[in-house]
Structure formats: structure tokens, C-alpha cells
Chains A and B, each alone.
Chain A
Amino acid sequence: MSTLLQALYEGLINGTIYALIAMGIALVWGVMGILSFSQGEFLMIAMFVAYFFSTATGLPPILALPLCMGILFLLGLGIYKTIIYKALQGPTLSQRLITFALSLVLVNGMLMFFGGTFKTIQKTGMEGSINLGPIVVAKNRIIPFLIAVCVFAFMLWFLNKTRQGKAIRATSMDKTAAEHVGINTERSYALAFGLSAAIAGAAGCALSYYYYCYPSVGGNFQLFGFIAVVMGGFGSVEGAIVGGLIMGLVDSLTGVYFNTAFKYLGVCVIFMLILQFKPKGLFGGK
């Protein structure tokens, strides 16, 4: 029983990180039809920001959250304005590959400037664990979880309840119609790309609590994010969150109850099963 609870808990916690990555991918795809291969690298850059902030000031990484999100938002905006904007006017293939190229540039750029050593924040201000009877809750997983929940809540609120959010959703559903009711879809694009980078920024800050950081750290998270996005229904932000959480749970439960060597297999089997019964994903094809 305690093992089951612990496995569910750990799966959920890990799932929130996948969900954050997936959310950004879903947002960008939904709005502008671009596959954001650079989401994992945005996560990585935010981890570096959190790491350098925390080691330089001695303050806990949570305080770097505004910095992580802000820097990544601006970076995303800048990348949109300079690179993505141009690619969107080009052929489909270059739209597909541009973020892939971007991710290679970011990984190698960071490797050049900061080297490939593994960096972890050793003083997060949340060392040790709390024993809650059946489960052990690591203190340094509490804040990442809260960050993720806050970002989910904020994004759902933003997209559904605010003017810019509605503009972004309208743009993703029908660009032409949106333009004719006064929505600057160019701004929606830029904002959506910036926001998705900022979400990865939050994920990076959260992850820096317990994961090591190095230039290629984003790769596997990116991959899991993609699977979560497809699972949830391409382009659906809500679906991406659910997809991410399912990934975390399946990953953890397969590891504990079947075989740790088959963790990824479990994820892929569930992924294929979902696509078998709901080809457009859990939240797709309404």
C-alpha cells in the first residue's frame, strides 16, 4: 500500500514537469502550427538561470522563478521576432525544422559558454524529507509541484478569461476570423511563443530543485513532452497537462510493478493504446 502511494505520488510529481513541457509545445502548435523542438532547451536555459542565481546569491531557486520566466519570455519573443516569423513565411519543411535547428544552436551555445559539467543546486533551502506515514515527501519536490500547479492554473485562467488569452485561442481556432474581429494575430503568435518559452522557464526553475543541469538535459524531457502532447490531443493545452500527468504515473507504476527496464516501454504502450482508441488524443477532435 505504501509502495503504491509512493509510486503514485512520485509519478504525479514527475508528471507535472512533463506536463509543463507539453503545455508549451501544445500552445505553439495550436496557435501557429509549429512543432517546438526547442522547448527542452528553454527548460535547460531556465535551469542554468536558476542554478546561477541560486549559487551566486545563496537564495532558494524559487526566488529565481520570475527571473526564469521573464528571461525565457523575452528570449521566446526575440526568437519569434527574428527567426520564427521569417520561417513562417517559408515552406512547411523549414517551419518544421527551424526549432530543431534552434535547439541544436542552444545546446551547443550553452556547451561553449558554460561547459558540459553537471550542475546541481545543493542548497535549495528545502533539504530532507517529511515522513507522512505511508509516503515520504521530499521537501525539494514540494515547491516544484506548487510551481507547476500555479502555472497550470494561471495558464488556464489566462487563456480562458483574459483578453489576450481569448485572442490567442481565437487565433489558434481561426486566424482569418480572428483578424476580422480586430485581433492582431501577429501579436498572438509572438505572445504564444513567448509564453510557451516562459512555461518552460517555470519548468526549468522547478526542475532545478532536484535535477542536475547540463546543456543536453532537455532532450528526454522534450521527448516525453511530445508524447504527452500527442496523447492529450495535439494543440489542446488541457490535454497536454493530462497527457503529462499520465506519462509520469505510467512511468512510475511500470517501473515499480513490472520492471524498471520497461518504464519507457510502458509509456509507449499506453501511448499507442490511447491512439488506438482515440486517434486524435484524449482531448482532440471535439
Chain B
Amino acid sequence: MSKILELNQITKKFGGLVANENVSFDVEEGEIVGVVGPNGAGKTTLFNSISGAFLPTSGSITFNGQDITSLPAHECAKIGIGRTFQIPQSLNDMTVEDNVVVGALCHTNSMSEAANKVEEVLKLCGMEKYRDMLAGKLNVAQKKRLEIARAMATDPKLLLLDETMAGLTATERVEAVELIRKINKMGIAILTIEHNMDVVMRVSNRVVVLVSGRLLMVGSPEEVTSNPEVISAYLGGGSKDESE
């Protein structure tokens, strides 16, 4: 298997604050990698560096063999990095369908081609019945699905999911896990930030643990859960997170 994403010594500083320090790990093609860590561990910052929202202070990011360290967000989207946001950033004054259309136009100029893509993605995410609704009117679970749908419309090779499960009910979580698996079966690699350990352990092939901006370890879900360092860091750093 070849590597779709390689992080090499990524450091991101905001003034004196170090959000990420020398973080290195890889994502294989078709893999689901979970990213865990207490609040303030630098998970979302890392996502921002990968997806081009931030320029890392040092280190390099390689996607599909191409150096994308300094590539801006919209270029990252074009070469196949899709992402969702912790707090859904839906385009509230547009319909659900138009939200997805905007994503689909990433790769085509033709509105009819985009329309086909939109059908496909709406079906995949089970959002067909909401298509004419304004995105602003959706509930949280629906908005999270819309985020995924919009990202999927850009035809990603790697999908970055930022706390897709947060704020969902148990039933909604089950549906979401199902959706993630379905997407992964289409051959799309997934990097997911998740607080719910149960979910992470069930979907991930491997898990990356960040603590205070540094990489604590990478390993299989079993390895990670049995590591005493992880347990102490986790319980010590952010016990509240578990309650979500």
C-alpha cells in the first residue's frame, strides 16, 4: 500500500504558543486513522495545516507524492483533500442542494455534470429529502451530514473529519459510523478527529495520539488503549472530554 499523506516534523506556532511540535505520521491509501487527544492537543490546528488553511511554521506535508506544505486551501481541495468542521460551517442562506453544488463545482464548470455528482452524494449521505431546505434550517446532525456531503462532492481522496460525532445522539452516531464506513469502502482514506473513544476504536485502522501539540504515539486501537502513558495523559489532560 502506498502512502496518501505523509506529515514530516510539522510544527505550528502562533506567536509564542506552540500548537503542534514535530508531528510526523502517515496515512495509507484506503485507511481510516483516528486522531485523539485532550482539548488543546492541537488536533484541529493539524487539520488546518494539512488542508491548507494554515502554513506550518516548519516541516513538510506530502500528499500523494506531492509536496503540499504551502498549498492554499482551495488548491488542496482541488487535488483531493476534503474536510469538515468541528462547528458546522454550512452556507446557511443556500439550499442543501446548492451547498453540495458548490462542492461539486470544484472539479467541473458544467452545471449538469455537477448536478449528477450532487444526486450521487445526496443519496450517499441520505440528504435527498432536505435538498430544497435552506441549510440554516437544518439541525446539528443534519448539518454535520451536509458538511460530509459537501466535502464528498469535491471528490476527495482523503477526507478530514473534525468531530463528526460530537453532539449526536446514540442512534445518529450509529448512522454516522455507517456513513464513514461506506465512504471508506469507496476507497477514500479518512483522517478523523474524535473524542468518543468507543467510536474511534470501532472505525479506525490506526490511532494517532496527540498531547500538548506533540505526537505521543501511533498504533492500532488495541495498542493505544493498553498504553499506560496514553491512559494517564488522557485522564490527566482532559477527563471532561470523555463525557461527551
Contacts and interface: CB of A to CB of B under 8 A. Distances in A.
A176 B77 contact: no
Interface stretch (A75-83, A108-116, A165-173): A165-173
B125 to A, nearest CB: 15
Interface stretch (A1-9, A140-148, A179-187, A222-230): A179-187
A173 B72 contact: no
Given A176-B89, A182-B74, A183-B77, 5 more contacts: A178-B102, A179-B74, A180-B151, A182-B154, A183-B102
B151 A181 contact: yes
A161 B93 CA distance: 15
A173 B98 contact: no
A59 B92 CA distance: 47
A173 to B, nearest CB: 4
Contacts of A183: 74, 77, 102, 106
A169 B74 contact: no
A173 B73 CA distance: 17
A174 B150 CA distance: 13
Given A181-B102, A182-B78, A170 B72 contact: no
B38 interface: no
Contacts of B130: none
Interface residues of A, number: 20
A178 B52 CA distance: 13
Contacts of B98: 166
A173 B94 contact: yes
B136 interface: yes
A180 B73 contact: yes
Given A170-B91, A174-B91, A182 B106 contact: yes
A163 B136 contact: no
Interface string B114-127: 10000000000000
12 contacts: A161-B111, A166-B98, A170-B91, A173-B93, A179-B52, A179-B73, A180-B53, A181-B82, A182-B78, A182-B106, A286-B134, A286-B136
B132 to A, nearest CB: 14
Interface string B203-217: 000000000000000
B103 interface: yes
A162 to B, nearest CB: 8
A163 B92 contact: no
A177 interface: yes
Interface string B143-154: 000000011011
A180 B114 CA distance: 17
A180 B78 contact: no
Chain A interface helix/strand/loop/mixed: helix
B232 interface: no
A176 B91 CA distance: 11
Contact of B85 (A177, A184, A185, A286): A177
B101 interface: yes
A98 B131 CA distance: 41
B83 interface: yes
Given A163-B111, A174-B91, A180 B105 contact: no
Nearest to B77: A182
Contacts of A178: 74, 91, 102
Contacts, number: 80
Nearest to B105: A163
Contact of B77 (A162, A173, A181, A286): A181
Contacts of A286: 92-93, 134, 136
Contact of A173 (B52, B53, B91): B91
A170 B94 CA distance: 8
Contacts of A176: 53, 73, 85, 89
B93 A166 contact: no
A166 B102 CA distance: 6
A180 B154 CA distance: 9
B89 A177 contact: yes
B94 A169 contact: yes
Contact of A185 (B74, B102, B106): B74
Interface in A185-242: 185
Contacts of B153: 181
B129 to A, nearest CB: 21
A170 B153 CA distance: 15
B49 interface: no
A167 B114 CA distance: 13
A177 B90 contact: yes
Top 9 nearest A-B pairs (CB, nearest first) are: A182-B106, A182-B77, A179-B73, A177-B89, A173-B91, A181-B103, A170-B102, A184-B74, A174-B89
A177 B78 contact: no
A180 B82 contact: yes
